[in-house]
Amino acid sequence: MVINNVNNISATENLSRRAFMSTLATAGALLPVAGLANKLLPAKPAKTDRLICIFSKQLQWLSIPEMAKAVAALGYDGIDLTVRKGGHIEPEQAATELPKAIAQIRKAGLEVPMIVTNIFDPQHPLTEPVLKAASQAGVKYYRTDWVEYDPKLGVLKTIAKYKKQVQGLAALNKKYNIHGAYQNHSGTSLGAAVWDLWELLKDVDPRWLGVQYDIMHATAEGGESWENNLELLKNYIHCLDIKDFYWAKKDGKWKHELVPLGQGMVNFKKFFSLVKQYQISGPMSIHLEYDLGGADQGKKQITKPKEEVLAAMKQDLQTLRTLLREAGLV
């Protein structure tokens, strides 16, 4: 008897004893392989690629299983996991610990579409092991490290200096089928002005290296001109950071005051209308950097009741979902 598809066999009694025993032997030989595969649960097909994640920096007071359970209960889609020095996973341990962590998170019904790293130099000895481990575990996006301007070189020559590195990094990302993203961040680092990221990345394939666009920092640095920067970089944006702020004067100096979503000066209505217009998709990471008793700073111990911290995380999630519905993005 020839068996074309064992899944279509309606009655085992039609098998000869010899064929039946042969089938059992084959299945037995495959059991060790199946056991290895089951250690890392596969990613579930997502209803949308616009998954809402929480930045695990704000949950470093919890172990990975505890964090996964808490985040699932809050209603998030996934976790933006720190795989960097002082994070949930140390880079040196990524090869062994990252697959375990992702399996634990998926067991809670969550995804890990994105991670945060210290990666920028493609030649660093930890770069390739981290990318390989992340890719094999099903991670699709990672945030790179930041780099500083060299005052001796000036703006344009510093950008030129780093172009060779980003080309090498993009090649590694292609090798491992993972997208790297540089976050625009307030201050004097490369990328704060946002337009400079275009200069850095314009010769790179945006499938492999781009920008993790942060509308809060773009607003802080660009005022209303963030719209121009968004248009310039739209093809390089495949993941987003979400937070809110306003300017406040403290001790005679104007500073960013981070606040819950919707309570600051970020124009989310305009931002999400452009996200829809430019067809920007990919996962989003909520950053809670207002006072949460140390959770906002990535502390291992927090001074506010955990229920209060978790309630703030849930409120920001609900606010973001409302904003996305109003923009027609869900």
Cα of first residue to Cα of last residue in the chain, in angstroms, is 52
Mean pLDDT score of the chain, rounded to an integer? 88
Assess contact for 221 and 196: CB atoms under 8 A. no
Is a pLDDT exceeding 90 seen at residue 43?
A: no
Assess contact for 258 and 243: CB atoms under 8 A. yes
**More confident: 76 or 19:** 76
**Band of pLDDT at residue 38, cut at 50, 70 and 90:** very low
This prediction's pTM: 0.85
The DSSP 8-state label assigned to residue 189 in this structure reads B
Q: Output the pLDDT for position 48.
A: 65
What tens digit of pLDDT does each residue of 92-148 get?
999 999 999 999 999 999 999 999 999 999 999 999 999 999 999 999 999 999 999
Q: Output the pLDDT for position 111.
A: 98
Three-state DSSP state, 206: coil
Give me the torsion for CA of 152, 185, 169, 275, rounded to 10°. Answer: -140
Kindly state the percentage of the chain with pLDDT values over 90: 84
Average pLDDT over residues 13-29: 36
What tens digit of pLDDT does each residue of 196-222 get?
999 999 999 999 999 999 999 999 999
136 burial via Cβ count (<10 Å: 0-12, 13-18, 19+): middle
Tell me the domains of the chain and their CATH numbers.
1-38 (no CATH), 49-326 (3.20.20.150)
Q: Write the DSSP string, 116-134.
A: E-----TTSTTHHHHHHHH
Average pLDDT over residues 247-261: 94
